[in-house]
Structure 1
């Protein structure tokens, strides 16, 4: 009779477990207590399992503690409940108190540790399991491989791979996918490809892992090939479509080369094609896929397409609205982003933190820091991400002092900064040249144990370098336990910034000796050092490295090379490289025009300026400074006047003081003072001493006494203690034998106690 009752109750409990019927289970529990069957370990284990599945872990634990007899399954039931709730503290305490353990016990705790970010503890648990003599299962290996991937520990991952092969688990799809994920996260792409090829079968996870890993390794064309293979095999679901749309979002190339044996074919792969496939396969109503499509269009700046898709969607979520707001923000359309946020509210969606951050970013990217701060202050409890967003906005818009004050307020509110926060605030301290602020942040770094973080160390090097404390910057660099290219670049830039160009070049050689692959920034910095040293031979060496490492087509490196050749006097070499560049921006054209100006080749500069206009490259204010300087140095007065007059009328650029200085210098050198006076009457920059010094120098050459006196009087007004205008005026009078006027000038100097600085020779 007792056996039948137990069997019946077991069936009832199974029925309750299948339907997660918590209340019915309580009735069974009451019956067990009433009939004195609480010692039936099997039935109580089923009850604990029921409570665990229903999310009533406290009730399960209470029943567990009341059990007179427990077995390993009792422990597993409650341990599984803690692990599913991610209650690692109670799970670990229970695990350590178990009188006996088996492979299931270890699998549960290792999986929970790995899943919750305790990767190192998961690996320690795995090693303890092996020492205890237990053989890992496919569940064990999957959890451990995930931990190895998270830690980037490819060595441990390969050891697990070897064990998987030994146990014939490497062909298991679950383990195989875990191996793929581990190798991809460890950037061991070749090993991942081998694993993928050796798997007897593939599923969506296999393809998606390969695709995402290839994108992270910047092998976009291979990622698209993987999707094509997936399409041919017929394994496509909403997750894989979202993944390939993520590839399209990250990819900036619209076509790639496909090698078919001996010939290469250029094949295009656009997000629009994937959109067509989505419709063809009937996924156009899937919210997750549509959100991925929106994200792809928004990230590429096709907001018109995003709006059409958004308005045609059967269902939208808060993610959809957030993507649209972020898309408007990327295009600096603050007004549209704010309107979208208001419309979102009117449709019954309450903004979340991502909404606020995206709207905040839209305001900051548009330069509207005031509205950005208003949005930030409207957040009830800003998270660390929100603090970082507003700090980054302040820093990028060069509101460095406000960023420092906000960082202090963040500390008063006891919001703990992370590495991103420290990097942003160090950037602001560097921008202000605020040494004391940098030192205070340095102290906070030591307190928060971020001192050895590479990301933060680069920021510290930048602060001390820009504040002229290069020895402190070197100290930081030398004490970083592990270097990356960003740290090397920061130190290289610091040496260059402090005019230690020879030392910077030596440092660059050390960088190569340490097998650090230079980036575009590295080459641009070291080329600037070659320019400062006017060392053409070293510049040639760097040029050779640039070509060898495939950076010769980079527009920034190319611009630095042009600057180096021009400053070293090899204008022909600069022009030859300039003509070979596949893409040029305004800065590139400016450097070449300025190079001609520096080397006295005004006609070439004017011709290049004309070619720049013909190629539809819009000149900026720097372009006009360069070409006007070239005209001034080469006596091309009419050309300079024509270019100056075209600035505002044809290009909408308001002339600045540098432009007025160039045109006045050009006209003054030619003795065309009536035109100079006309320009002086119109120009808004009457308090710029350089303009008057240039004019005074021209007047001395052409003996224009009346205009020279006016220029000198303006200089006396602006700075009575500057000896330069007195000396220029006195020299002009002496060249005209007007000795009484020379005496008057020297008398004024004595009266104002102005002393002429003695000249010196560097020869």
Structure 2
């Protein structure tokens, strides 16, 4: 028979006999404590209560109280605590610890305030409990009471309050506490204390004062790997990857062996400097790799435009049974959104569900963003509505997703719901709102939203917001107001402002304003081909061939290369890329045959090519021919040839803005062929259905 079975039998016997002697209760309670059996201890206490018997033994009560708190029976502990005839500081501290661990900070505060006598353990327990629960202001208040009460802080006190300052990013208060540590260091033995100094380094790093963090680091006594890691990661966090790697080499020279935390920072530093091959070589050379290191590699590949490497590494990670975390999944979802890889994105989503992190706010927000960027706005909306927790980033993802996919009225409705649920909008929220107003031509409403940025929400309008207003006015044909926005801006116009003015000038065929915008863009970014090409296109559309020739000559003199326009489409986990009039695709013959058949059928339905879009001074027949084989048309023909009867939408991506002829062609195909076509260009999503486009022909 086990000890716990014997205890249960003894307590059962006690219940059958009735009240027992004090010594019997005491002996059995001590047996429960020694056996760590809170269940039988509670039964004994209930039996004692039944017979109105309470032993007058503070030591026994404290042992029993400790048993209840240690086993998580906080309610039982408090019941005992309330009945205790004598409470000492140990009793109070036990209850403080119980409420700190259980996260009941209201009770923690109540017990702390009710204490008659407090020692350093009392203060430290309260401080660590409040900090662990994010109640850092409360923790600092306790620290203030500790100093006023004349209780000497220990290293645990200082670690706790410095962590509170770190969480609050309160550098001023943190430096005050650092000063107190220095003043009392000689008598307290805290000079160079590893734990306190690590907390100081963490404070200064998080508050961006890396030089002060290094000053503390250089004065530490008996540095360990945690100390080195704090400083190395501090450099990385503040974008000083060179110093991060220098300190890593210094660490090795001192004979301190790096751990996995060190190596994840080192990998991150390589990626931050763009040294992808060095990071890969280091990762492959590691004998041991944890999930953090794998995630660092995946994120690093993603940030350095090595998306394919990120996806392949994720597959390898899973094959080695390394569990991805929410950061890994969020990063991969973002990769799938950027590449518009629908099938793989859904695989990652399934993996998030499988490992139980699909409800994590970062993961679910990334998924909303991904489905929006895949053009699957209904799926994005459904996912958003089922999110158990949302933050402002989640609301922004959905608002912008609606605006990008032609659901502009839904974006405005969602914003009003966001305010109803007491979420405070930020600058990104208003970019989505103003974009929606621009698509709908809601000038008055756009003005009100713009004014509310500062007047209602206390934010400062950014250049992004001014660009949205220029776009709103320009797309609605109010070019004077668009130009006036630039004149009254408090900040100097940047590339975005001039690019937006150039874009709306193109829409309104306002060559004079376009020339002003292009001239400024030539100065801000001389090697960017886009303004040269756009202005040249406007000259060509107006028949100003001499100006077209001058612009091309200028580009040649400045050695400016125009980026090739291309489209791509995913089919069975394979990406197919197309360039206008290109015949290098393995299925080129079938693609052109299908496209020619498609063009003929659309012409029979009333489609005519827009030869005015041809930007060369050539004959009419050659102009028409040159627009027939644009990259997005080739991608469309490929998709229809591969799956002619599919009910699934056709998804095409293009690296530049879709031309008006292809836009018109897609509308005809969507109606005649009864297919849903989703085209994502550099501007926004175009959902073509039944002869209409979600952009209302205004992009």
TM-score, structure 1 normalization: 0.59
CA distance in 2, matches of 1:240, 1:395: 44
The answer to whether residue 382 in structure 2 is matched with residue 576 in structure 1 is yes
Picking from 353, 363, 369, the partner of 2:165 is 363
2:669 is matched with none
The answer to whether residue 555 in structure 2 is matched with residue 760 in structure 1 is no
CA distance in 2, matches of 1:247, 1:665: 63
1:159 is matched with none
2:62 is matched with 238
Change (3 A) 1:706 1:452: closer
- Tell me, what secondary structure is at the counterpart of 1:203? helix
Whose radius of gyration is greater, 1 or 2? 1
Cα deviation for residue 440 of structure 1 reads 2.0
Picking from 149, 169, 183, the partner of 1:347 is 149
Whether the 8 Å contact between 2:529 and 2:561 is mirrored in structure 1 is: yes
The answer to whether residue 348 in structure 2 is matched with residue 538 in structure 1 is no
1:394 is matched with 204
Change (3 A) 1:712 1:205: farther
Cα deviation for residue 709 of structure 1 reads 6.1
Cα deviation for residue 529 of structure 1 reads 2.7
CA distance in 2, matches of 1:346, 1:387: 24
Change (3 A) 1:631 1:351: same
Structure 2: unaligned runs, 5 residues or longer = 8-29, 47-59, 186-190, 567-578, 580-699
Cα deviation for residue 442 of structure 1 reads 2.3
The 10-residue stretch of structure 1 (328-337 or 668-677) with the greater mean CA deviation from structure 2: 328-337
Higher relative contact order (CA 8 A, sep 6+): 2
- Matching of residues 230-379 of structure 1 within 5 Å: 230-234=41-45, 237-238=61-62, 241=65, 245=69, 273=75, 276-282=78-84, 285-294=87-96, 306-325=108-127, 341=143, 343-378=145-180, 379=182
Higher helix content, 1 or 2: 1
2:334 is matched with 528
Query: Aligned residue pairs: how many?
Result: 524
Cα deviation for residue 595 of structure 1 reads 2.2
Cα deviation for residue 316 of structure 1 reads 0.7
Cα deviation for residue 727 of structure 1 reads 6.1
Deviations 1:235-284 (A, max 9, x none): 98535645765787xxxxxxxxxxxxxxxxxxxx8x6x467425423178
Cα deviation for residue 285 of structure 1 reads 3.0
Change (3 A) 1:545 1:727: closer
Whether the 8 Å contact between 1:722 and 1:754 is mirrored in structure 2 is: no
CA distance in 1, matches of 2:527, 2:309: 39
- Tell me, what secondary structure is at the counterpart of 1:444? helix
CA distance in 2, matches of 1:491, 1:296: 40
2:616 is matched with none
Whether the 8 Å contact between 2:127 and 2:161 is mirrored in structure 1 is: yes
Change (3 A) 1:414 1:432: closer
2:457 is matched with 651
Change (3 A) 1:469 1:292: farther
1:610 is matched with 416
Picking from 649, 666, 688, the partner of 2:494 is 688
Whether the 8 Å contact between 2:539 and 2:545 is mirrored in structure 1 is: yes
Picking from 641, 659, 671, the partner of 2:447 is 641
Cα deviation for residue 589 of structure 1 reads 2.0
Whether the 8 Å contact between 1:727 and 1:756 is mirrored in structure 2 is: no
The 10-residue stretch of structure 1 (298-307 or 519-528) with the greater mean CA deviation from structure 2: 298-307
The answer to whether residue 272 in structure 2 is matched with residue 473 in structure 1 is no
Whether the 8 Å contact between 2:470 and 2:483 is mirrored in structure 1 is: no
Whether the 8 Å contact between 1:454 and 1:480 is mirrored in structure 2 is: no
CA distance in 1, matches of 2:263, 2:530: 45
Change (3 A) 1:575 1:446: same
Deviations 1:709-746 (A, max 9, x none): 66556657756787765665666567567899989999
Deviations 1:377-419 (A, max 9, x none): 442314111221122122223444554x43xx633x3633323
1:519 is matched with 325
TM-score, structure 2 normalization: 0.64
Picking from 203, 207, 230, the partner of 2:32 is 203
Whether the 8 Å contact between 1:204 and 1:237 is mirrored in structure 2 is: no
CA distance in 1, matches of 2:385, 2:145: 51
Change (3 A) 1:737 1:301: farther
CA distance in 2, matches of 1:591, 1:375: 41
1:80 is matched with none
- Tell me, what secondary structure is at the counterpart of 1:651? coil
CA distance in 1, matches of 2:561, 2:552: 14
Deviations 1:476-529 (A, max 9, x none): 333433333223322332333333222222222222222223322232232223
CA distance in 2, matches of 1:247, 1:694: 64
CA distance in 2, matches of 1:537, 1:500: 19
CA distance in 2, matches of 1:436, 1:308: 50
- Tell me, what secondary structure is at the counterpart of 2:379? helix
CA RMSD of aligned residues (A): 4.2
CA distance in 2, matches of 1:743, 1:516: 59
Deviations 1:42-96 (A, max 9, x none): xxxxxxxxxxxxxxxxxxxxxxxxxxxxxxxxxxxxxxxxxxxxxxxxxxxxxxx
CA distance in 1, matches of 2:290, 2:510: 61
CA distance in 2, matches of 1:458, 1:243: 41
The answer to whether residue 315 in structure 2 is matched with residue 509 in structure 1 is yes
Change (3 A) 1:299 1:451: same
CA distance in 2, matches of 1:533, 1:708: 32
Cα deviation for residue 761 of structure 1 reads 3.8
1:428 is matched with 234
CA distance in 2, matches of 1:591, 1:316: 50
Picking from 234, 243, 250, the partner of 1:444 is 250
CA distance in 2, matches of 1:326, 1:284: 26
Whether the 8 Å contact between 1:376 and 1:386 is mirrored in structure 2 is: no
Deviations 1:211-248 (A, max 9, x none): xxxxxxxxxxxxxxx75564235498535645765787
The answer to whether residue 395 in structure 2 is matched with residue 585 in structure 1 is no
Change (3 A) 1:728 1:497: closer
Structure 1: unaligned runs, 5 residues or longer = 1-169, 177-200, 208-225, 249-268
- Tell me, what secondary structure is at the counterpart of 2:456? helix
CA distance in 1, matches of 2:470, 2:102: 46
Cα deviation for residue 689 of structure 1 reads 2.8
Cα deviation for residue 315 of structure 1 reads 0.6
Deviations 1:651-690 (A, max 9, x none): 3333222222222212222122343355444432224231
CA distance in 2, matches of 1:227, 1:663: 67
Whether the 8 Å contact between 1:450 and 1:456 is mirrored in structure 2 is: no
1:553 is matched with 359
1:665 is matched with 471
CA distance in 2, matches of 1:567, 1:641: 28
